[in-house]
């Protein structure tokens, strides 16, 4: 039954459990009923209104939505999983009306249906062909024969057929909820968005970030990136945006593919959201900035039982400080020291000495941190410390024919260099005499070795150093 909406539009309040302004009377919410639940309005009572990427007004462009998720099973679910061909008693419909009374029997006084027998298509936006407040129209068909979760999203367009559209997304498990994580600036106005999901998404539930530069309005000119990851950890990279500008974004899941969403209009993109996080309608935002530094050099050498780091970088005003990371394995680097930015402009040069070194491999990396949280990493360097405190680096030169062996301390002696192929066979051997005058030696492997992975082993002075290189 239609309602005059003036009071609903002008007097609604926003609280923690807000009753939003809606185009369909909030006391008679849109329900989804049909053959799958025996046309029971009680079973559809958990239909909820939501707004996507906006926290005010009564949008009819797909951002104002009624939504309901049914668990369809042969038994024990919310509804029965069945293939509904369409037509009276053999389909479903969207309804809204009072608890009782009216010409069509309470909740059925307003119906959105098809004008003829037909089936809707899963995982895409479908158009409704008939709105009726006079008990007319034909129930819409839908194939729900596969057990799982069916999420209905209905456009809150009011009591009309105009813009009356809906999306039904199928997932094997319940749609996941999305929680934003720490973001990282990637430079040149790009941003990495981290997302945590409440569970591992179903195979066809994809995670997306929808964004727009300069204007906080998702009714036009929006762009999309798909998140990658596994389990509950996902990342999506927003590409470079104009430096100094503000970019707005939110995250959502959908059963549509990125190619399908890119081909869709803004209306369809909004409706095809299973779950989303839009920062309570305000959307998330970031200011596009350049990375805080550009590293120009970074070295690590052992001296007198200590390891000395030296680096220089072209710095911007956005730089806050540096953090030194170290570990005995390259994949578990942890921050051990903070180095403040010098009061200089342009290039800055820095040194740090680590006296708590360990025998064997020591890995180091420098992290530059911007004032706005942007981060830039240096390369990872390794310094080997032997039993006598003598360090040797074996430095691959990717794509070249040369192997660099650097004796970080003067360690006179004779060394045996062996290079092994991927299957363990020796492919190169050379005796090296280090007389203490030339700390860096260049070994020409030659073009005879095919491109691939090789294990380099350098033995001498009761020590052995091993490195894996790619030629």
Please report where in the chains the tokens 């007004």 appear, as a residue: 57
- pLDDT of 96 over the 60 cut: yes
Contacts of 247 (CB under 8 A, 6+ apart): 189, 191, 211, 212, 213, 214, 238, 241, 285, 286, 288
Buried b (16+ CB within 10 A) or exposed e, 313-339: bebbebbbebbbbbbeeeeebeeeeeb
DSSP label of 380: -
Q: Where are the alpha helices (DSSP H) in 96-236?
A: none
pLDDT, residue 15, reads: 29
What is the reported pLDDT for 91? 97
Q: What residue segments make up the domains of the chain, in order of their start?
A: 6-171, 178-287, 293-385, 392-470
Confirm if 171 and 147 have CB atoms less than 8 A apart: no
d(Cα 240, Cα 68) in Å, to the nearest integer? 37
Report which secondary-structure segment, H or E, holds 258.
helix 258-263
Dihedral of the alpha carbons of 334, 339, 344, 347, in degrees to the nearest 10: -40
Residue among 334, 340, 292, 285 at smallest CA distance from 315: 292
For Cα atoms 109, 113, 115, give the angle at the middle one, nearest 5 degrees: 120
pLDDT band at 14 (very low <50, low <70, confident <90, very high): very low
CA–CA gap between residue 430 and residue 463 (Å, rounded): 17
What's the distance, CA 279 to chain centroid? 16
Residue entry with tokens 């070295």:
299
Decide: helix, strand or coil at residue 9. Answer: helix
What number is the average pLDDT over the span 429-453? Answer: 74
Tokens linked to 117: 């027998």
Residue 180: burial class (beta carbons within 10 Å; 0-12, 13-18, 19+): middle
Residue 330 falls in which region: left (phi positive, over 0), alpha (psi -120 to 50) or beta: alpha
Query: Is the Cβ–Cβ distance between 143 and 81 less than 8 Å?
Result: no
Percent of the chain with pLDDT over 70: 87
Per DSSP, the residues of 273-297 read -SEEE-TTTT-EEEE----SEEEEE
Which carries the bigger pLDDT value, residue 227 or residue 12? 227
Q: Do domains 178-287 and 293-385 have the same CATH topology?
A: yes
Among 72-86, 229-243, 324-338, 344-358, the least confident range: 344-358
| Tokens found for residue 193 | 């968005």
Contact in structure between 197 and 181 (CB atoms under 8 Å): no
CATH fold of 392-470, please? Immunoglobulin-like (2.60.40)
The pTM (predicted TM-score) of the whole model is: 0.67
Contact 366, 325 (CB under 8 A): yes
- Cβ burial of 304 (10 Å; 0-12, 13-18, 19+) is exposed
DSSP code of residue 218: T
Residue 449 gets the label, from left (phi > 0), alpha (psi -120 to 50) or beta, of beta
- Return the bridge partners of 239, or none: none
What pLDDT shows up at residue 304?
65
Among 1.10.4080.10, 3.90.1300.10, 2.60.40.10, 3.30.420.40, name the CATH number for the domain at 293-385.
2.60.40.10
DSSP 204: T
Name the more confident of 325 and 390.
Answer: 325
Q: What is the pLDDT of residue 155?
A: 98
Which pLDDT score is estimated for 3? 39
From CA 215, how far away is CA 6, in angstroms rounded? 30
For residue 447, what are the CA distances in angstroms to 9, 163, 397, 402, 451? 77, 67, 13, 10, 9
Q: Who has greater pLDDT, 410 or 215?
A: 215
Task: Give me the long-range contacts of 334-340 (CB less than 8 A, separation at least 24).
Answer: 335/367
Nearest to 417 by CA among 387, 459, 377: 459
Cα–Cα distance, 180 to 196 (Å, whole number): 6
pLDDT at 440: 74
| pLDDT score for 448 | 63
Q: Write out pLDDT tens, residues 25-54.
A: 988 999 999 999 999 999 899 899 999 999
Q: Residue 6 carries which DSSP code? A: H
Candidate from 17-21, 83-87, 264-268, 295-299 with smallest mean pLDDT: 17-21
The hierarchical CATH code for the domain 178-287 is: 2.60.40
353-364 pLDDT, tens digit per residue, is: 998 887 778 889
State the CB neighbour count (10 A cutoff) for residue 444: 11
Q: Are 67 and 61 in contact (CB under 8 A)?
A: no
């Amino acid at each position: 039954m239609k309602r005059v909406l003036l009071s609903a539009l002008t007097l609604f309040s926003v609280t923690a459990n807000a009753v939003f302004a809606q185009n369909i009377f909030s006391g008679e919410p849109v329900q989804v009923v049909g053959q799958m639940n025996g046309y029971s309005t009680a079973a559809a009572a958990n239909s909820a209104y939501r707004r996507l990427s906006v926290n005010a007004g009564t949008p009819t462009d797909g951002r104002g939505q009624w939504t309901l998720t049914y668990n369809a099973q042969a038994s024990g679910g919310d509804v029965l999983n069945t293939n509904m061909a369409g037509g009276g008693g053999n389909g479903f419909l969207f309804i809204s009306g009072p608890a009782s009374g009216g010409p069509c029997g309470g909740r059925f006084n307003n119906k959105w249906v098809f004008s003829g027998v037909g089936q809707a298509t899963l995982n895409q936006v479908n158009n409704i062909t008939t709105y009726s407040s006079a008990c007319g129209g034909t129930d819409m068909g839908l194939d729900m024969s596969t057990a799982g979760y069916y999420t209905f999203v209905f456009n809150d367009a009011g009591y009309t057929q105009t813009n009356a559209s809906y999306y039904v997304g199928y997932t094997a498990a319940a749609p996941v909820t999305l929680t934003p994580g720490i973001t990282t600036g990637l430079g040149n106005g790009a941003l990495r968005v981290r997302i945590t999901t409440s569970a591992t998404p179903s195979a066809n539930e994809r995670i997306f970030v929808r964004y727009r530069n300069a204007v906080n309005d998702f009714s036009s000119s929006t762009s999309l990136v798909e998140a990658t990851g596994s389990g509950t950890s996902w990342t999506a990279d927003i590409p470079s945006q104009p430096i100094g500008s503000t970019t707005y974004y939110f995250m959502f899941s959908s059963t549509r593919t990125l190619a399908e969403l890119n081909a869709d209009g803004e209306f369809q993109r909004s409706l095809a959201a299973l779950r989303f996080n839009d920062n309570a309608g305000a959307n998330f935002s970031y200011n596009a900035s350049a990375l805080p530094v550009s590293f120009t050099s970074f070295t690590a050498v052992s001296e007198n039982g200590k390891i000395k780091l030296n680096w220089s970088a072209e710095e911007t005003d956005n730089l806050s400080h540096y953090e030194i990371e170290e570990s005995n394995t390259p994949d578990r680097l942890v921050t051990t020291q903070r180095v403040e930015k010098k009061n200089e402009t342009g290039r800055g040069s820095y040194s740090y000495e680590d006296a708590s070194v360990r025998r064997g491999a020591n890995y180091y990396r420098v992290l530059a941190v911007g004032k706005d949280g942007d981060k830039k990493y240096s390369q990872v360097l390794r310094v080997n410390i032997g039993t006598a405190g003598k360090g040797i680096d074996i430095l691959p030169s990717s794509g070249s024919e040369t192997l660099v062996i650097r004796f970080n301390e003067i360690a006179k002696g004779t060394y045996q260099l062996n290079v092994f192929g991927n299957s363990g066979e020796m492919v190169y051997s050379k005796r090296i005499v280090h007389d203490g005058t030339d700390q860096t030696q260049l070994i020409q492997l030659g073009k005879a070795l095919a491109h691939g992975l090789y294990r380099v082993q350098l033995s001498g002075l009761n020590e052995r150093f091993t490195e894996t290189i790619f030629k």
